[in-house]
Amino acid sequence: MTVTTTDPVVLPAISNPTSARVLVALVSLRWLAGITDNLVTTGLSEASAVAILAMLGLMLLNRMRLSRDAILLLAGLLAWIVTGTLSALSANMPRPFEAVALLTLLLFYALFANAALTYLRQLSALVPLRRFLSAFVVVGAVLALAQVLSGNGFVDPGKPGVIRAYGSDVHPVSFAIQIVAALLALEILRVKIGARFGMGHLALLTLGSVALYLTFARTAWVMAFLVLAFLVWRRGSGMQKLALAALALPLGILGLTVSDRFADLASLPFFWQNFSFSDTVFDYRFVDNSMSWRIVNWSYGLHQAMEQPLLGFGPGQSAHASHFSLEMHNLLLEGFFEGGMLGLGALLVTLAGLVRIHRRLPKATPEDAYASTLAGGFGLALLFAVLVSTSLVDQLMTVIMYLLLLATAGTPTLMQRESQPLSWLPRPESP
């Protein structure tokens, strides 16, 4: 099959169905290992990640293919690894193993991003990807329901009466972000293969939404709203945009005043009146919610990071070296704290590489443009999350789901019809 397109920035994927199926199988292995570790602690998650890393390395050595779309991302991750190594060698780290683990994760992300954007951006990869994502949503929803109904879910120390689902991950927030990514990827797959919005698709969206709700992860809830708002703003009609603008403020106020998950944020104005980033001493009686804790932690972390501004305190050390004994919950601050100015520079190059991938997604057809908008909305929502909620660097499965979403959105839509079933997908010819 000859692939042609009028979009000048679309680069066809390597036509290798076997590599695509192997890559999806490796992702499934890591996902199942994580579920097993949640039920019975076995250490399979780490072992499977190392095995997958080795397989990704072999795939690269076998064909020596580099994704041109991912070049800047790969350069940023490589620079991050180099600066992280320099930081590790220069710092007196309380947890050296954490540094090795983080640097290994960065290598994993580089190899997986290259493989995903090389082998998964082809029609033959869409069906196995859809099967995996469907299973991820269904199994995640079942696990979430079981955890809440049995009372074995995640319990915050400050809210012992709230049982939160963590699904197939170890924390509600990371699982909730993965669910949002999976649901968006499934919608992108639907339009890429030309399938109708049927009952099966609606059932998957419903199950995923139930699982998302049961996590009580307001970060992911806000992310889902941001994706929807971005979609309406970019592709909606004038009336839809006006409705979104008119409803945004009332809905925000309603969420802050009515929902128990947002009610604690009502004390933030009083907190700000008694807080200053220039102070190194603070009255903790004014801190009564997770957002206040984050702000105080950012202030302390920034003051401490300025003590070693060039190379920082070492990769993976923020939770152990900080005065608060907490992760920074902000990707940029964590990059500066752990790697100094050099590490922050490498991180910014990495983020620029992700922006470049988003900008190069195909937009030649209405389906491609719709998929690119969904992916762009998730990218912006994820940027919000890593700036105010979580650094994301050590959340392997969440990063994998994000890269799968990018690979799916990067597959050009060619010669598709709504009436054609999934089995219609042709097999690309071998090169």
Q: Where are the domains of the chain?
A: 20-424
User: What average pLDDT score do residues 20-48 get?
Assistant: 90
Q: Lowest mean pLDDT: which of 10-24, 208-222, 246-260, 314-328?
A: 246-260
Q: Which residues pair with 164 in a beta bridge?
A: 154
Helix (H) or strand (E) holding 160: strand 159-164
DSSP codes of every residue in 218-284: HHHHHHHHHHHHHHHHHHS-HHHHHHHHHHHHHHHHHHHHH-HHHHGGGGHHHHHHT--TT-S---G
Contact 223, 381 (CB under 8 A): yes
Output 105 or 319, whichever has higher pLDDT. Answer: 105
pLDDT digits (tens, 9 = 90+) for 41-64: 778 888 999 999 999 999 888 877
| Per-residue pLDDT at 115 exceeds 80 | yes
β-pairing verdict for 159-164 and 154-156: antiparallel
Helix (H) or strand (E) holding 102: helix 96-119
Q: Lowest mean pLDDT: which of 43-52, 136-145, 323-332?
A: 323-332
* Average pLDDT over the chain, rounded to an integer: 84
CA distance 322 to 196: 51
CA distance 265 to 87: 37
User: What average pLDDT score do residues 186-210 get?
Assistant: 93
Total-model pTM: 0.87
Q: Lowest mean pLDDT: which of 3-12, 67-76, 274-283?
A: 3-12
Task: Say which amino acid occupies 15.
Answer: S
Output 420 or 295, whichever has higher pLDDT. Answer: 295
User: What average pLDDT score do residues 106-119 get?
Assistant: 95
pLDDT digits (tens, 9 = 90+) for 271-300: 766 776 776 666 666 666 677 778 888 888
pLDDT digits (tens, 9 = 90+) for 392-412: 888 999 999 999 999 999 988
DSSP letter, residue 426: P
Residue carrying structure tokens 């972000």: 177
Longest dimension (CA), the chain: 68
